[in-house]
Amino acid sequence: MKRVTLAAAIFGGILILGGVLTALATIGHSNEEVLRGFGLVLISFGGMCIAIPVYLEGVRLRNQHRRADGAPVAKRNLSPCSVCSAPTASLWCTTHLIRICPACLPRHDEPSRCLYRTLGRHSASSRGVAGSASGRS
């Protein structure tokens, strides 16, 4: 993979250099818009040729590092349901302060008392994102 990244960096550098030289050659010539645009496309394509393999190499190294440390991979929004212990709850009852899955919602629902929020909104407010405005007087 390192050879692919190096080869892509060299190829991308050549494309960027060619694009810069093409764009510079059109300075002062107002009738060569197509050539100037081609130079800019070469610069952009060269940048992408460099960025994509570098990004993929970084992802590979991050995953390799996580496996070596034995650290668990972060899983989004996998809070268990407080009623039936299902692996993914999607609602938060603000009255009773419990997590609820959609299957348990009909059993728990008390329309006169319960107010529900999605867990994504609840977790953002618990980190202080929405709660910072309530601290002001």
Q: Please give the Cα distance from 83 to 24 (Å, whole number).
A: 68
C-alpha 27/C-alpha 93 separation (Å) is 64
The residue with greater pLDDT, 67 or 52, is 52
Residues 33 and 60 in one domain: yes
Q: Is residue 27 part of a domain?
A: yes
Question: Which residue did the predictor score with more confidence, 8 or 124?
Answer: 8
Q: Are residues 14 and 62 in the same domain?
A: yes
Quick one: 63 and 101 in the same domain?
no
Average pLDDT across the chain, whole number: 79
Model confidence band, residue 74 (pLDDT cutoffs 50, 70, 90): low
With a cut of 90, say whether residue 93 has pLDDT above it.
Answer: no
Residues 82 and 123 in one domain: yes
Q: Which residues contact 3 (CB under 8 A, 6 or more apart)?
A: none
Domain of 122 in residue numbering reads as 75-129
Q: Cα 121–125–127 angle (5° rounding)?
A: 120
Q: How confident is the model at residue 100 (pLDDT cuts 50, 70, 90)?
A: confident
